[in-house]
């Protein structure tokens, strides 16, 4: 990996040097004419000069190498730290504390938070029971349910914990359940949190147990999720998006961006330490495992574990199927919550080594929004400015390369995913939709509007609660 980063940086520096050294050739004169002799079209071979292309490529490679170098250095420093006060979950510190002690075989307790999930809770529980390595305990955390969720869960053989006077939704219900369960858990008694609309692929739990048995410094294992079938075109957009996300994680060898809320397994030490550090090293209410003031509790607990030096992974053989939004309205609400939640989490944690990668990611998203809107604006201006349509072979070639990249990155998704990616423009419209959601989240934060969980329930503002 180090050699790869070094090679990328050297290539970027070489291209940048070449572009400004004056040794590059100048641009070619533009030309135009007829194509194929029978089809009358106007085209222009004008393209950015080679030095310009080299400079752009060089800067991109240097930026990528810089981010990778810093991320690698931060991760290595956290793994090797023995500072139990600032990084109490660092692998070296945990290994030192647990060395020479047998804590028993690994066991699994699964918590399934559920709010009126009568329609799908049975399938979720059956997928758990059907695992090649079944969990010892399955507990449905029923939060203010008014349907048959509790009865169905009990018929399926699950234990049920019902929340009491909970006003903090999923995070609050989980905190109540964890307060009862964690004190009884040993070092190897793993706790899994799994959404009630999720189905585990077979082998998920067996892989988790094997990894946790082999590495006692491992604090959490997250799943790679992909979308369920159905919901037409909007469902396929989301499946393509999830397929690309899973591909990115596989190429990062399981290094985690976010421990997905769909299914993640924690070591009890990790959850207890997070609860103990709330109000000191971490934001939130002391004693709470999950911060009840955030919109995206899975993203927040990922930042919490990384801030404490915890080792976490999302291996490629831990896959889950999750629901996709069936309408643009519900998709808008979900993504607005995700985007704003991620930004608010970063604001709460500030700039620290564990959040560097996330700040860089947000800057990248912001740049992507500006680039896409600028591209579309220039296309409109060009169309309005020319009397006749002019084809630009360079940009057509660039678009073709982009299309090939879109197809290859969803190849695992099947022929429907490839066909949608090959048409290019529908996915550009979907990207534009997500960019508008991103801008709406920033605008709401700038104007101080209360966040929504997607069902018109406002989230409590942190400053209000603190006061």
List beta partners, residue 162: 142
Q: What is the pLDDT, as a whole number, of residue 365?
A: 85
Q: Does residue 140 surpass a pLDDT of 50? A: yes
Q: Does residue 332 surpass a pLDDT of 80? A: yes
Q: Which residues contact 304 (CB under 8 A, 6 or more apart)?
A: 274, 277, 282, 291
Q: Does residue 264 surpass a pLDDT of 90? A: yes
Q: What is the pLDDT, as a whole number, of residue 465?
A: 40
Q: How far apart are CA 152 and CA 348, in angstroms?
A: 39
In 235-279, where do the E strands start and end? 263-266
Q: Which segment, 94-103, 132-141, 395-404, is predicted with the most confidence on average?
A: 132-141
Q: Residue 395 — pLDDT band, cuts 50, 70, 90?
A: confident
Q: Residue 356 — pLDDT band, cuts 50, 70, 90?
A: confident
Q: Is the dihedral of CA 405, 408, 413, 414 positive or negative?
A: positive
**Percent of the chain having pLDDT more than 70?**
86
Mean pLDDT over 361-365 rounds to 84
Q: What is the pLDDT, as a whole number, of residue 354?
A: 84
Q: Does residue 462 surpass a pLDDT of 60? A: no
Q: Does residue 432 surpass a pLDDT of 80? A: yes
Q: Which residues contact 269 (CB under 8 A, 6 or more apart)?
A: 89, 94, 187, 219
- The torsion angles phi and psi of 42, rounded to 5 degrees, stand at -105, 135
Computed over every residue of the chain, the mean pLDDT equals 84
Copy the structure tokens of residue 458: 């406002």
The alpha carbon of 18 is separated from its chain's Cα centroid by a whole number of angstroms, namely 37
Q: What is the pLDDT, as a whole number, of residue 426?
A: 92
Q: How far apart are CA 246 and CA 315, in angstroms?
A: 10
Nearest 5°: the CA angle 2, 7, 9 is: 95
Q: What is the pLDDT, as a whole number, of residue 23?
A: 52
Instruction: Please write down the long-range contacts of 80-85, taking CB distance under 8 Å and 24 or more positions apart.
Output: 81/309
User: Is residue 284 a contact partner of residue 465, using CB atoms and an 8 Å limit?
Assistant: no
Mean pLDDT over 52-72 rounds to 82
Task: Concatenate the DSSP letters of all residues of 337-404 into one string.
Answer: HHHHHHHHHHHHH-S-GGGHHHHHHHHHHHHHHHHHHHHHHHHHHHHHH-SS-EE-HHHHHHHHHHHH
Q: Does residue 36 surpass a pLDDT of 80? A: no
Q: What is the pLDDT, as a whole number, of residue 35?
A: 59
Q: What angle do helix axes 393-409 and 232-251 make, rounded to 10 degrees?
A: 80
Q: Residue 467 — pLDDT band, cuts 50, 70, 90?
A: very low
Q: Does residue 323 surpass a pLDDT of 90? A: no
Q: Which segment, 304-308, 313-317, 318-322, is predicted with the most confidence on average?
A: 304-308
Q: What angle do helix axes 356-385 and 50-80 make, rounded to 10 degrees?
A: 160
Mean pLDDT over 47-75 rounds to 81
| pTM (predicted TM-score) | 0.82
Q: Residue 196 — pLDDT band, cuts 50, 70, 90?
A: confident
Copy the structure tokens of residue 256: 């985690």
Q: Does residue 70 surpass a pLDDT of 70? A: yes
**Torsion angle (degrees, nearest 10) of CA 294, 355, 352, 345:** -10
Q: Does residue 351 surpass a pLDDT of 70? A: yes
Q: What is the pLDDT, as a whole number, of residue 393?
A: 81
User: Is residue 59 a contact partner of residue 16, using CB atoms and an 8 Å limit?
Assistant: yes
Q: Residue 372 — pLDDT band, cuts 50, 70, 90?
A: confident
List beta partners, residue 110: 138, 192
């Amino acid at each position: 990996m180090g050699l790869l980063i070094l090679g990328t940086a050297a290539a970027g520096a070489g291209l940048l040097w070449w572009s400004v050294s004056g040794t590059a050739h100048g641009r070619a004169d533009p030309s135009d004419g007829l194509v194929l002799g029978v089809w009358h079209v106007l085209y222009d071979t004008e393209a950015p000069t080679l030095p310009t292309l080299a400079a752009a490529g060089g800067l991109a490679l240097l930026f990528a190498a810089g981010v990778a170098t810093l991320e690698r250095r931060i991760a290595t420093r956290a793994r090797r730290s023995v500072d139990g006060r600032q990084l109490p979950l660092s692998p070296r510190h945990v290994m030192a504390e647990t060395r020479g002690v047998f804590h028993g075989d690994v066991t699994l307790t699964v918590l399934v938070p559920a709010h009126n999930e009568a329609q799908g809770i049975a399938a979720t529980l059956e997928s758990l029971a059907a695992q090649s390595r079944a969990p010892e305990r399955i507990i449905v955390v029923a939060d203010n349910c008014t349907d048959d969720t509790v009865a169905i869960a009990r018929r399926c053989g699950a234990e049920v914990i019902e929340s009491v006077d909970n006003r903090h939704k999923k995070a609050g219900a989980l905190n109540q359940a964890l307060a009862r369960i964690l004190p009884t858990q040993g070092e190897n008694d793993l706790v899994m949190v799994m959404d009630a609309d999720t189905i585990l692929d077979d082998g998920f739990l067996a892989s988790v147990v094997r990894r946790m048995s082999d590495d006692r410094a491992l604090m959490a294992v997250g799943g790679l999720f992909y979308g369920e079938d159905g919901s037409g075109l909007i469902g396929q957009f989301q499946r393509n998006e999830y397929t690309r996300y899973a591909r990115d994680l596989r190429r990062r060898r399981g290094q985690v961006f976010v421990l997905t809320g769909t299914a993640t397994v924690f070591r009890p030490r990790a959850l207890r330490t997070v609860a103990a550090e709330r109000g000191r090293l971490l934001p939130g209410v002391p004693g709470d495992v999950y911060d009840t003031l955030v919109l995206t509790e899975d993203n927040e607990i990922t930042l919490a574990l990384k801030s404490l030096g915890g080792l976490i992974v999302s291996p490629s053989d831990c896959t889950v199927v999750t629901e996709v939004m069936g309408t643009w309205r519900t998709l808008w609400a979900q993504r607005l919550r995700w985007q704003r939640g991620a930004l608010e989490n970063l604001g709460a944690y500030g700039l620290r080594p564990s959040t560097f990668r996330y700040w860089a990611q947000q800057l990248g998203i912001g740049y992507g929004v500006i680039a896409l809107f600028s591209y579309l604006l220039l296309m409109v201006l060009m169309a309005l400015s020319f009397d006749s349509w002019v084809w630009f072979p360079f940009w057509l070639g660039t678009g073709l390369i982009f299309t090939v990249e879109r197809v290859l990155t969803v190849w695992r998704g099947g022929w429907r995913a490839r066909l949608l990616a090959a048409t290019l423009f529908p996915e550009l419209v979907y990207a534009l939709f997500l960019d508008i959601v991103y801008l709406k989240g920033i605008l709401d934060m700038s104007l101080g509007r209360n966040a929504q969980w997607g069902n018109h329930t406002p989230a409590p503002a942190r400053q209000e609660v603190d006061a």
